[in-house]
Amino acid sequence: MTAAADIALLVLDVDGVLTDGRLWYGPGGEELKAFHVRDGHGIVQLLAAGVRVAVISGRSSPAVSTRMRELGVSEIIQGVTDKARALAELLARAGLEPRRVACLGDDTPDLGLLAGVGLPAAVADAHPAVLAAAAHVTRAAGGQGAVREFCDFLLAARESGR
């Protein structure tokens, strides 16, 4: 496992990580998402510390694009069926080694992401297979501050050098 202090990129799943995993639809069929404001602040702090942040999601949502751009996240990859390949392409574009990447996931479509990074992590309420694949598990559930908790973990590691 990579030391948390060496992480240069955090990859996040969306549904079940940045949200609580529930899908909400408005009266016109539009998809609605609720994001935890503290997760957003953790992302902003991580970016300010020089750690890149990206999202890779199997679903596509204008709400995700809007929220991520609002936070300063430029790598927004949505609507992919092969998350591992999307990750490999992202790392090639970014010129990063997988060992310098952390990923926070929640369900079995994220297993390919977790297998391809140096620091695989899961939210507290993740699927058992994801929990088993994770080197770090948050105390908070997805959509309930888990991203902020993991960002704080990475920032503390950078400060301490561990």
User: Structural domain boundaries of the chain?
Assistant: 4-160
Please report the pLDDT score of residue 159 as a whole number.
87
pLDDT score at 3: 85
The whole model's pTM is what? 0.95
At residue 145, the pLDDT reads 97
Q: For position 2, what pLDDT does the model report?
A: 67
Give tens-digit pLDDT for 1-14.
Answer: 568 999 999 999 99
Residue range 98-155, pLDDT digits in tens? 999 999 999 999 999 999 999 999 999 999 999 999 999 999 999 999 999 999 999 9
What stretches of 32-109 show up as alpha helix (H) in DSSP? Answer: 37-48, 62-71, 83-94
Say if residue 52's pLDDT is above 60. Answer: yes
* Among 1-5, 14-18, 93-97, the least confident range: 1-5
Provide the percentage of residues in the chain whose pLDDT is more than 70.
99
CA angle 97, 47, 143 (to 5 degrees): 95
Q: Which pair of tokens denotes residue 69?
A: 């751009």
CATH of 4-160, one of 3.40.50.1000, 3.90.79.10, 3.40.50.970, 1.20.1250.20: 3.40.50.1000
Mean pLDDT, the chain, integer: 95
End-to-end CA distance of the chain: 12
Q: Indicate the helix (H) or strand (E) that contains 12.
A: strand 9-12
Q: In this structure, is the dihedral angle defined by the CA atoms of residues 23, 148, 120 and 101, taken in order, positive or negative? A: positive
Neighbours of 99 (CB within 10 A): 14
What confidence category does residue 31 fall into, taking pLDDT thresholds of 50, 70 and 90?
confident
**What is the model's pLDDT at position 161?**
73
Axis-axis angle for helices 37-48, 146-160 (nearest 10): 30
The Cα–Cα gap between 118 and 59 comes to 25
At 131 the pLDDT is 98
Which contacts qualify for 108-114: CB closer than 8 Å, 24 or more apart?
109/13, 109/58, 109/83, 110/13, 110/83, 112/82, 112/83, 112/84, 112/87, 113/11, 113/13, 113/56, 113/83, 113/84, 113/87
What pLDDT score does 1 carry?
56
